[in-house]
Amino acid sequence: LRRAVRKPDEKLLKKDVEQKNILITGAGGSIGSELSRQIIKQNPRLLVLFDISEFALYSLDLELSDMNSNVRVISVLGDVTKGSRLKKIFEVFDIQTVYHAAAYKHVPMVEKNSIAGVRVNVFGTLACLQTAIDTGVESFVFISTDKAVRPTNMMGATKRFAELIL
């Protein structure tokens, strides 16, 4: 990036993670899985991994269990657009912090599958956010994209719409 590297503020990182019950949507994806790897190092009380892909969730669950962490990890298969299922998960696991990374993010695929893109990126975000509000979640982190700035494609437009919902 041709700029000085900024070290993370450890105090800020721990604020919404340390000894908290965390839910990561889209945990099996590229961003969600990296969030999971980093968050487990910050000593949450509980880490709930939520994804629609069985294989991705299984792979991440195996990887995290090999880290020999004392953090309890729960892997849950599910669809972010299903509000009633989300609500049950948020309540059962007393979720305090949500990292919402579930999304369709590949521009060509969303262009070819715009209805699916709207369903997951817009309505999935809405369902997660509404559930977080309804269950009193303390912190909600939304993963967006640079393509949401003056979007020129369907994927960017769905992520921009999701930003506006938030």
**Residue 89: closest CA among 17, 25, 166, 30:** 25
Please report how the helices 54-65 and 30-40 are oriented relative to each other, as an axis angle in degrees rounded to 10.
Answer: 20
- Quickly count: other Cβ atoms within 10 Å of residue 133's Cβ: 10
- 14, 87, 112, 147: which one is catalytic? 147
Give SS3 for 106.
coil
Cβ contact 98:141 at 8 Å: yes
Q: Round to whole Å and give the CA distance between 71 and 61.
A: 12
- Is 87 a known active-site residue? no
Burial class (CB within 10 angstroms; exposed 0-12, middle 13-18, buried 19+) of 68: exposed
Q: Give the active site residues.
A: 147
